[in-house]
């Protein structure tokens, strides 16, 4: 007899009752007398905790009376995948007493990993939520469930990388900005998005690499771009997987893929660039060993993407494509001049003034002037990252100054430009190239096309003059402003009000990390919206980069305060425009959370 066997009841008691709820060393068990045997099962239904002793046993199948989940009495296995298997315990009868072995069996983390996979396979948000909460308990590593979702999403969606994996990566990127209790919720939302995006899809059967690794990466890159040009997804995919197999580095693969992203103008209104950027960011998190599975999942998006050469607004009344092609012909000479130039003392300050001027030009109504100003900046020695960062900021201002007199769907137009510009900037930080530089110009033209969104332009909130209060006063005011945000977002279209709160908070000396944690929490309490998640995550990344630049002396404190604050205003305004939602997904998560901590939902 094992040491974990404990007395649960007398055999007579169980036989007389037929079913008996008992306590045994802190466990609540349901004992069943059936077919001359006694069975022991955890009395909590694994679905939502309803007492199983109140269920019905027939033909060896126990049915819970709350949601009618069915369980094999002997093994605990469920016939309803949304319910999870019930835990059963070995039983021994000794001297008329029922003894139950309450020892834990198996690896509980492995069991939760398996439950997470079931949740992804069946698109069961409650199962996903419970698994994530268990895996992240006691400082569990969030990368583990992220990898599960990444593998699943790239394998079981025939179309390849899509919104679900982008949401998952966005929310994983945001984890460091969130307070600890909100992190499982972010993963729950991201993994649930992967499940929803793959449900009903056929699996993706990957193309195998070339039989040998003898083809060099430059050749594979050239072939890859040629195949994308003629919309040959299989040929493009084979080049990607062969390059990874041949040992191409992160930077080499980014250079290869983003070249195809920028061979045509603003493809798929920016989504393909953002998907590509997010795929590389996912690999930063999960590890490069997943590159052979992740990067080929992008091939179909490259081959099938709409190209703005085919779009009327890029051709009429001004032919922006022709304007850009002429500029691209001048790029080699411009870049060579920029490389030969050098910045002397005091040049950073002059460059900063020029950046303000460039933003003004980019937000204007003359695309030729925008192109010429960007070429002039490169000729002066600006790097691609500096130029891309400036265009990203201009794109953020389109959202920060978006007027609510526009149609609601126009928010997406501004969002697409901003997330595209951010993706190109992040690519430039990873693998800068003259080819990628074309994407910066594409983003600038999209900023130009979005000018109608700022006619009239919404007023940017200004500093309220309260930034020099003592620390205690600032602390009280900051806390009050953060408390105001959830109330505002309980009402529709509090766009300008949300922007004002964020501006007053940051200009008043509030801690940015507290604001970002608050905005992240407010994002997570809403039902998932792909574009809102994209916007907030990109704004967080931009704010972080701008703050780092200020610390390194690339910007004056005043400039940083304005520029970075404007980005956060943009995020808050977009979020406010898309809140409140029904918040059904949050309700499901709350159920998972309460079950995780042992609440008796059925008793309320």
pLDDT per residue over 515-555, tens digit each? 999 999 999 999 999 999 999 999 999 999 988 876 676 55
Q: Is residue 331 part of a domain?
A: no
Residue 497's CB is within 10 A of a number of other CB atoms, namely 18
Task: Kindly report, residue by residue over 26-77, the tens digit of the pLDDT.
Answer: 889 999 999 999 999 999 999 998 999 999 999 999 999 999 999 999 999 9
CATH (domain of 266): 1.20.272
In terms of domains, do 520 and 505 share one? yes
44 in the same domain as 27: yes
Residue 373 lies in a domain: no
Q: Is the pLDDT of residue 347 over 50?
A: no
pLDDT digits (tens, 9 = 90+) for 454-494: 999 999 998 765 444 445 556 778 899 999 999 999 999 99
Q: How many domains does the chain have?
A: 4
List the domain range (segments joined by +) for residue 581: 471-586
What per-residue confidence (pLDDT) applies to 560?
61
Q: What is the pLDDT of residue 80?
A: 94
For residue 352, pLDDT beyond 50: no
Q: Does the residue 409 lie in any domain?
A: no
> What is the rounded average pLDDT for all residues in the chain?
93
pLDDT for the residue 463: 77
Domain boundary among 308, 325, 340: 308
Which domain CATH number covers 54? 2.102.10.10
Last residue of a domain, one of 153, 168, 198: 198
Decide if 420 is inside a domain.
no
How confident is the model at residue 340, as a pLDDT? 84
Whether residues 273 and 176 fall in one domain: no
Residue 555 and residue 426: Cα distance in Å, rounded? 19
Q: Are residues 541 and 565 in the same domain?
A: yes
In a domain, 314, yes or no: no
Which among 255, 221, 252, 254 is positioned nearest to 239, based on CA atoms? 221
* Residues 85 and 162 occupy one common structural domain: no
Bridge partners of residue 72, in order along the sequence: 61
pTM confidence score:
0.93
Contact, 506 vs 400, CB < 8 A? Answer: no
Please state which of the ranges 232-236, 286-290, 465-469, 497-501 shows the lowest mean pLDDT: 465-469
pLDDT score at 558 = 52
Confidence category of residue 342, pLDDT binned at 50, 70, 90: very low
Residue 387 lies in a domain: no
What gap in Å lies between CA 298 and CA 254, rounded to an integer? 12
Q: What is the pLDDT of residue 344?
A: 43
**Opening angle at CA 341, ends 340 and 342, nearest 5:** 120
Cα–Cα distance, 510 to 494 (Å, whole number): 21
570 lies in the same domain as 509: yes
Residue 416 lies in a domain: no
State both tokens at 210.
Answer: 């070339």
pLDDT at residue 354, as a whole number? 79
Q: What are 90-133's pLDDT values in tens digits? A: 999 999 999 999 887 778 899 999 999 999 999 999 999 999 99
Residue 368 lies inside a defined structural domain of this protein: no
Q: Are 494 and 582 within one domain? A: yes
Asked if residue 576 and residue 480 are part of one domain, the reply reads yes
pLDDT tier for residue 599 given thresholds of 50, 70 and 90: confident
582 with 484, same domain: the answer is yes
Handedness of CA 305, 173, 196, 579 (dihedral sign): negative
Residue 84: band (very low, low, confident or very high) from pLDDT cuts 50, 70, 90: confident
Rounded Cα distance between 422 and 429, Å, is 11
Q: Are residues 151 and 242 in the same domain?
A: no
Say yes or no: 80 and 112 in one domain: no
In a shared domain, residues 142 and 223: no
pLDDT of residue 213: 85
d(CA 17, CA 21): 10
Q: Are strands 61-63 and 56-58 parallel, antiparallel or unpaired?
A: antiparallel
pLDDT in tens, 46-55: 999 899 999 9
**Domain boundary pick from 153, 170, 198:** 198
């Amino acid at each position: 007899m094992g040491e974990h066997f404990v007395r649960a009841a007398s055999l007579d008691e169980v036989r007389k009752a037929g079913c008996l709820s008992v306590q045994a060393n802190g466990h609540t068990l349901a004992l069943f007398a059936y077919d001359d045997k006694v069975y022991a099962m955890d009395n909590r239904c694994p679905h939502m905790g309803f007492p199983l002793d109140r269920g019905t046993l027939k033909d060896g199948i126990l049915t819970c009376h709350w949601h009618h989940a069915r369980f094999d009495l002997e093994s605990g296995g469920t016939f309803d995948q949304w319910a999870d298997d019930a835990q059963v315990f070995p039983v021994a009868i000794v001297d008329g007493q029922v003894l139950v072995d309450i020892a834990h069996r198996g690896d509980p983390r492995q069991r939760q990993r398996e439950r997470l996979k079931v949740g992804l396979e069946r698109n069961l948000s409650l199962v996903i939520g419970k698994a994530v909460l268990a895996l992240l308990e006691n400082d569990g590593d969030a990368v583990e469930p992220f990898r599960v979702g990444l593998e699943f999403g790239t394998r079981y969606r025939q179309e390849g990388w899509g919104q679900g994996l982008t949401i998952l990566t966005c929310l994983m990127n945001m984890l460091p900005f969130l307070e600890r209790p909100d992190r499982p919720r972010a993963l729950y939302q991201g993994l649930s998005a992967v499940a929803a995006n793959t449900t009903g899809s056929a699996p993706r059967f990957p193309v195998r690499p070339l039989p040998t690794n003898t083809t060099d990466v430059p050749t594979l890159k050239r072939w890859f771009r040629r195949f994308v040009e003629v919309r040959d997804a299989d040929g493009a995919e084979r080049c990607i997987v062969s390059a990874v197999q041949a040992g191409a580095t992160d930077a080499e693969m980014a250079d290869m893929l983003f070249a195809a992203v920028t061979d045509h103008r603003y493809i798929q209104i920016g989504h393909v660039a953002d998907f590509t950027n997010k795929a590389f960011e996912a690999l930063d998190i999960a590890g490069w060993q997943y590159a052979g599975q992740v990067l080929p999942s992008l091939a179909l998006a490259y081959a099938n993407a709409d190209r703005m050469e085919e779009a009327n607004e890029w051709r009429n009344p001004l032919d922006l494509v022709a304007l850009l092609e002429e500029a691209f012909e001048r790029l080699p000479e411009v870049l060579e001049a920029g490389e030969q130039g050098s910045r002397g003392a005091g040049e950073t300050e002059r460059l900063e003034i020029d950046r303000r001027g460039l933003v003004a030009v980019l937000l204007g109504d003359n695309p030729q002037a925008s192109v010429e100003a960007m070429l002039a900046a490169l000729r002066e020695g600006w790097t691609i990252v500096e130029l891309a960062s400036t265009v990203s900021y201009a794109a953020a201002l389109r959202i920060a100054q978006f007027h609510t007199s526009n149609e609601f769907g126009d928010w997406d137009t501004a969002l697409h430009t901003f997330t595209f510009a951010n993706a190109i900037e992040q690519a430039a930080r990873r693998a800068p190239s003259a080819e990628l530089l074309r994407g910066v110009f594409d983003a600038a033209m999209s900023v130009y096309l979005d000018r109608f969104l700022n006619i009239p332009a919404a007023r940017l909130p200004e500093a309220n003059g309260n930034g020099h209060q003592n620390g205690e006063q600032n602390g009280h005011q900051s806390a009050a402003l953060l408390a105001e945000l959830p109330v505002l977002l309980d009402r529709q279209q509090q766009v300008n009000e949300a922007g004002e709160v964020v501006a007053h908070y940051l200009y008043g000396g509030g801690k940015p990390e507290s604001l970002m944690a608050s905005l992240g929490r407010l994002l997570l309490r809403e039902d998932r919206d792909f574009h809102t998640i994209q916007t907030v995550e990109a704004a967080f990344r931009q704010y972080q980069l701008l703050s780092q630049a200020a610390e390194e002396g690339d910007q004056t404190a005043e400039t940083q305060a304005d520029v970075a604050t404007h980005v956060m205003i943009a995020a808050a305004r977009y979020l406010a425009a898309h809140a409140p939602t029904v918040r059904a997904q949050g309700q499901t998560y709350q159920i998972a959370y309460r079950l995780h901590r042992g609440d008796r939902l059925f008793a309320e």
